[in-house]
Chains A and B, each alone.
Chain A
Amino acid sequence: MDTAKVEAIITKHNGDATALLAIMQDIQAEENYLPRDAVEHVAKKLGIPISRIYSMATFFESFHLEPRGKHICTVCMGTACHVRGAQRLVEQLERDLKVMSGGTSEDGLFTLEEVNCVGACALGPLVIIDGKYHGNTTSAKISKVVTGMQKEEGGK
């Protein structure tokens, strides 16, 4: 990750070590994961041991230390979504994106993830793609969305 970008994020939080979590979130918002060089830079700049940042990054499910795809595809697997067939959505997406749940496609475009509940049970079954909520969806509908995205990416 670009050092200037990391610097900008640290400056935004006034170089405050107690804002570490927010800094980590901002870095992840930029890169979809926590690049190692960024982690090392933050540690050095804030005077925090790398071991503590690593510990925090592994504690919270929402942080990722491995690179993730350009598009993040999250399937809600909460109870309400589950009984409305979320598992079928996962299977459909696995076929469409050619990636197992929890992984990133070979071209680095899509990451497929499961999450236990996003608190939008009335919309279930629910798939979130790049922050956009696709509620009351079906495997056919969601398949259309991702294949459309794949075409768009392929066309570039």
Chain B
Amino acid sequence: MTVEITINGVKAKAEKGESLLEVIRKYGFDVPSLCHHHAVEPCGSCRVCLVSVTDNGRTKLAASCNYKVREGLDITTDSEEIRRNRAMVLELMLAESNAPAIQKLAAEYGVTSSRFETEESKALAAERDGCILCGLCVRVCEEVVEVAALNFKGRGDKRDVGTPYQETPQNCIACGACAYVCPTDCIGFVEENGVRKLKKWNRELPILKDDAGRPVGPQFQLFYFTQKAGLPADFYKKGGGPAR
């Protein structure tokens, strides 16, 4: 069902139940986000995409990514209050993450140092390599790749992203989707000497070369693809797949 909403005074049309963030972006307004990717279900964990939503005469700040569009919403994507709140979210995040991407976004909101930084938070940031626990890698691995090699573990200040039993995940196909969506670039995707490595999960897989000697991808990943798509086992070996 198509509904009509207002974004910064502009009339906009959207499907009922659509992600508000996606609609806002479709109409060309800029809203930052870290934990959102259109390929996976929104979860609203990073909170930087917050906007002002007026629904039925009530105004509140809400994370737009997992806010479902309804008829008559009146949205403001930029105001002094919104910027102040995003700055606070980023300042909190900055205390636990040293990732350049976070520092850059925080600087855009005038945050260059965090009042919440302590020795403990710095140690945590170093341990997590700048991970902000947004869970994008977890969601992409489960929803898109359908391998679900990753998940959160623990809770509260002990919460972290990892693999079951902190072991190298044997079902990980090293496709690198997690590294691709990661907003902080903390997973450590490298390819060298014919091996693909995902440092954070400690996964290393040899890369298959096709009959012409060109590298294609990790053998186990290609095996997974051929199984899933019902292709012949030597499809990639024979030079199949996208042009190289």
Q: Which residues of A contact B (CB under 8 A)?
A: 36, 49-55, 58-59, 65
Contact (A54, B154) CB under 8 Å given A49-B142, A49-B148 = no
Interface centre among A36, A51, A55, by most B CB within 10 Å?
A: A51
CA distance A36 to B149 in the complex (A): 16
Q: Across the interface, name the chain B residue whose C-beta is closest to A39.
A: B164
List of B residues within 8 angstroms of A36 by Cβ: 165
List 10 extra interface pairs beyond A49-B147, A51-B149, A54-B153, CB under 8 A.
A36-B165, A49-B149, A51-B142, A51-B164, A52-B148, A53-B164, A54-B151, A55-B152, A55-B153, A59-B154
29 contacts between A and B (CB under 8 A): A36-B165, A49-B142, A49-B148, A49-B149, A49-B151, A50-B164, A51-B142, A51-B149, A51-B150, A51-B151, A51-B163, A51-B164, A51-B169, A52-B148, A52-B151, A53-B164, A54-B151, A54-B153, A54-B164, A55-B152, A55-B153, A58-B153, A58-B154, A58-B155, A59-B152, A59-B153, A59-B154, A59-B155, A65-B165
List of B residues within 8 angstroms of A51 by Cβ: 142, 148-151, 163-164, 169
Q: Which residues of B contact A (CB under 8 A)?
A: 142, 147-155, 163-165, 169
List of A residues within 8 angstroms of B164 by Cβ: 50-51, 53-54
- Determine chain B's interface SS by DSSP, over half rule: loop
Q: A28: shortest Cβ distance to chain B, in Å?
A: 17
Q: A64: shortest Cβ distance to chain B, in Å?
A: 13
CA distance A52 to B165 in the complex (A): 11
CA distance A49 to B149 in the complex (A): 8
CA distance A27 to B149 in the complex (A): 23
Q: Across the interface, name the chain B residue whose C-beta is closest to A36.
A: B165
Q: Across the interface, name the chain A residue whose C-beta is closest to B170.
A: A50
Complex A-B, nearest 8 residue pairs according to Cβ-Cβ distance, in ascending order: A49-B148, A55-B151, A51-B151, A54-B164, A58-B153, A50-B164, A58-B154, A51-B164
CA distance A59 to B155 in the complex (A): 5
Task: Establish whether residues A54 and B148, one from each chain, have CB atoms under 8 Å apart when the complex forms.
Answer: no
List of A residues within 8 angstroms of B154 by Cβ: 58-59
List of A residues within 8 angstroms of B169 by Cβ: 51
Q: A74: shortest Cβ distance to chain B, in Å?
A: 20
Q: Across the interface, name the chain B residue whose C-beta is closest to A59.
A: B155
List of B residues within 8 angstroms of A59 by Cβ: 152-155
